[in-house]
Structure 1
Amino acid sequence: MASGDERRFDVLRAIVADYVSNQEPVGSKALVDRHNLGVSSATVRNDMAALEEDGYITQPHTSAGRIPTDKGYRLFVDRLSEIKPLSSAERKAIRNFLEGALDLDDVLRRSVRLLAQLTRQVAVVQYPTLTSSTVRHVEVVPLTPARLMLVLITDTGRVDQRTVDLGDVVTEDGVATLRDVLNNTLAGHRLIDAAAKVAELPDQGPTELRDALTRVCTVLVESLVEHPEERLVLGGTANLTRNVADFPGSLRQVLEALEEQVVVLKLLAAARNPGAIAVRIGGENEDEQMRSTSVVSIGYGSDDLLLGGMGVVGPTRMDYPGTIAAVRAVANYVGQILSGK
């Protein structure tokens, strides 16, 4: 499309708006009636013919109006000069809802629920990747004289609890020593580095606690590696069933794909930087099962640290400006909460 042909883009934008709103093919008369395009129906028809020839819109069946193609949606999204921000009341409601969370799990569950409600799509949030987290503290709690609970706390708020059977009695002073050894060695280190240090701990601790340290470290290393089964929180899947017509013959495939975490993680992979929105439309999605969907994703974290990704999955007939605004707002607050800002 020629860069100077703003009128044709206005026609495309109007077609996108009407089709997203009404789910009905759009005709030239309807465009003239609903939008202040400043031209006649004949001119709009000519513009629509040109847009169709260039592949931005298509006619789903004879004598029908036109609907946007993936290419048309892509141009529309790329030409979004500004995203209408959420109102101050909406932003305040998001902040209050998320700040009431009790822990990391609660933050992510609330985020998914909120995104699904705001966008009426499927919401996905990735747990903070452990490789980017650091150990804040390791608490050692005696359950019995021969059994301990280890509580690993990261800077992103992740809490992992493990029990350790020591095989022998350890005194209160011994427990305090274990706690000091673990924190002196691991606190402040990235989890990927802490995992390597754990293997060296038994030889560095007091001789009388070597066996206890060996058992503790064997269990602790499980908390320092990724847990694939915990990496995603998904919500709002039922939203896809509201408009089955948006997924002709493929809704089941979409739902099956969403159950595969590898597929969903790939969808979020486009969001590499905190605050940077990525939009994949239809055939741009790598997985064939997802080619009737659009994915709006974003990275969350602090300015210099990407903790994870989040986003929404829905039909290509999506309210892109509203969805982008909601995803960006939720990601911003989640990043602030988990970064302690």
Structure 2
Amino acid sequence: MLSERQAVIFKTIVDEFTKTAEPVGSKTLVNLLSMRCSSATIRNEMAALEEMGLLEKTHTSSGRIPSSKGYRFYVENMMETQLDDNVKHSLQQVFQERHYTLDEIVKKSCDILSQMTNLTSLVLGPDSRCQRLQHIQLFPISERSAVAVFITDHGHTENKTFQFDTTVSLNDIQTCCNLLNDKLCGTPISSVVEKMKEIKPLLAASVSRHEVLFQAFVNAFIRFASDNVYCSGQSNMLYQPEFADIERLKQLMKMLEDSSVWRQLANTEGDLAIRIGNDNGVLQMDDVSVITSKFHLNAQKEGQLMIVGPTRMQYDRVVALMEYMSKVIEELYSEEY
């Protein structure tokens, strides 16, 4: 348990290091603290906090920085999340400008989060792999393109645009669509591609351009069944001093491209999770934190917003933004459906 003075000193160090990325020394704290303390007293308290594991000393400075354990203590015991009403109003105005689809809403939310935090944001859409195909609807755009709408038994709707290598007649497109609806209805999304290979001879017997259509649908279903992850603001990591080393930056960028990492992190209880450093063995980077916030679209359908950045991030502001954006997505989806 921290004394009142230790708590004030510790929180001041966290706040200052978050802003400056520079180790905080006793001389700096003398000017920052509201209570009057000598440099010697502050140094003693900092040493005590270091013994507790909440602070650590860097090799390049006599100042201290928060440890991973310190950040964990901060978010669990000291963090206060509150979003300014002006910020809430500004975010609401963005989505009132025009009508957005669900896909556009979550992607725009992801972009806004990366812009407002100067960090990297991700959004995980609902995982469709365990759902079953209920219906396919095709809308021809031209003789070489069409839009397909896939609907699952959970009410998940996905749009895919087809670009054909050669001209395909409207009749062939409709015949193909009818055949697939007849043979694939009730098939798990993860099994659709294999099932399509089984009905390929039927397609060949009914449709003249069957090879073109078959390949287009297979590609669409592969994309549909793959992890639905959208990432925004990767370039923000270039300006974080923690990733000035090119090898560290490469490691982070490789991790951002690995959708399996984010699916593993998504398997958590509760709507909010804060992972600091490599505390669960998934991130394999001890200076990276990930905050996740779930949004619920219906009883079976949910997605997650994620913010990725250095452990030195403004946890209170980031959490407040993410929780509010999750509510915005839920409200807009409710209005739409």
Could you tell me whether the CA contact under 8 Å between 1:272 and 1:306 is conserved in 2?
Answer: no
- Partners of 2:25 and 2:142 in 1: CA distance: 76
* From 236, 247, 253, the counterpart of 2:243: 247
What do the CA deviations read for 1:80-106 (whole angstroms, capped 9, x no partner)?
Answer: 45411x233322332342464644553
Amino acid of the structure 2 residue aligned with 1:295? V
Task: Give the alignment's TM-score, normalised by structure 1.
Answer: 0.74
In the alignment, structure 1 residue 326 sits paired with structure 2 residue 326: no
- Partners of 1:37 and 1:190 in 2: CA distance: 63
Amino acid of the structure 1 residue aligned with 2:77? R
Q: Identity over aligned residues, as a percent? A: 25
3-state secondary structure, aligned to 2:278: helix
3-state secondary structure, aligned to 2:122: strand
Structure-to-structure mapping, 1:1-341, within 5 angstroms: 2=1, 5-37=3-35, 41-61=39-59, 64-80=62-78, 82-84=80-82, 86-98=83-95, 100=98, 102-131=100-129, 137-141=135-139, 149=146, 151-154=148-151, 155-162=155-162, 175=174, 191=189, 211-212=206-207, 220=217, 222-226=219-223, 231-244=228-241, 246-247=242-243, 249=245, 251-260=246-255, 263-267=258-262, 269-272=264-267, 276-284=271-279, 286=281, 290-302=285-297, 304-338=299-333, 340=336
- Report which stretch shifted further, 45-54 or 180-189: 180-189
What do the CA deviations read for 1:101-149 (whole angstroms, capped 9, x no partner)?
Answer: 644553344223211111111112224322366657522346899x994
Could you tell me whether the CA contact under 8 Å between 1:130 and 1:226 is conserved in 2?
Answer: no
Could you tell me whether the CA contact under 8 Å between 2:158 and 2:224 is conserved in 1?
Answer: no
Could you tell me whether the CA contact under 8 Å between 1:160 and 1:223 is conserved in 2?
Answer: yes
Amino acid of the structure 2 residue aligned with 1:95? Q
3-state secondary structure, aligned to 2:240: helix
- Partners of 2:227 and 2:266 in 1: CA distance: 19
Amino acid of the structure 2 residue aligned with 1:276? D
The structural deviation recorded for 1:73 is 0.9
- Partners of 2:203 and 2:52 in 1: CA distance: 78
Could you tell me whether the CA contact under 8 Å between 2:238 and 2:244 is conserved in 1?
Answer: no
Pair 1:178–1:243, CA change in 2 (3 A): closer
Amino acid of the structure 2 residue aligned with 1:236? G
- Partners of 2:17 and 2:169 in 1: CA distance: 71
- Partners of 1:272 and 1:93 in 2: CA distance: 32
3-state secondary structure, aligned to 1:284: coil
- Partners of 2:203 and 2:303 in 1: CA distance: 42
- Partners of 1:131 and 1:64 in 2: CA distance: 52
The structural deviation recorded for 1:35 is 2.8
3-state secondary structure, aligned to 1:269: helix
Could you tell me whether the CA contact under 8 Å between 2:296 and 2:302 is conserved in 1?
Answer: yes
- Partners of 1:156 and 1:200 in 2: CA distance: 25
In structure 2, stretches of 5+ residues that fail to align are none
In structure 1, stretches of 5+ residues that fail to align are none
User: What count of residue pairs does the alignment treat as equivalent?
Assistant: 330
- Report which stretch shifted further, 98-107 or 194-203: 194-203
Pair 1:232–1:202, CA change in 2 (3 A): closer
Amino acid of the structure 2 residue aligned with 1:234? C
What do the CA deviations read for 1:294-329 (whole angstroms, capped 9, x no partner)?
Answer: 111223333633533321211111111111111222
The structural deviation recorded for 1:76 is 0.7
Pair 1:299–1:193, CA change in 2 (3 A): farther
The structural deviation recorded for 1:79 is 1.5
- Partners of 1:130 and 1:103 in 2: CA distance: 18
- Partners of 1:191 and 1:213 in 2: CA distance: 26
- Partners of 2:142 and 2:312 in 1: CA distance: 59
- Partners of 2:332 and 2:164 in 1: CA distance: 32
Could you tell me whether the CA contact under 8 Å between 2:23 and 2:61 is conserved in 1?
Answer: no
Pair 1:208–1:260, CA change in 2 (3 A): closer
- Partners of 2:169 and 2:183 in 1: CA distance: 24
Amino acid of the structure 1 residue aligned with 2:243? F
- Partners of 1:183 and 1:198 in 2: CA distance: 11
- Partners of 1:270 and 1:45 in 2: CA distance: 38
Amino acid of the structure 2 residue aligned with 1:128? P
Amino acid of the structure 2 residue aligned with 1:26? V
Could you tell me whether the CA contact under 8 Å between 1:123 and 1:312 is conserved in 2?
Answer: yes
Could you tell me whether the CA contact under 8 Å between 1:301 and 1:336 is conserved in 2?
Answer: no
- Report which stretch shifted further, 14-23 or 288-297: 288-297
The structural deviation recorded for 1:242 is 1.9
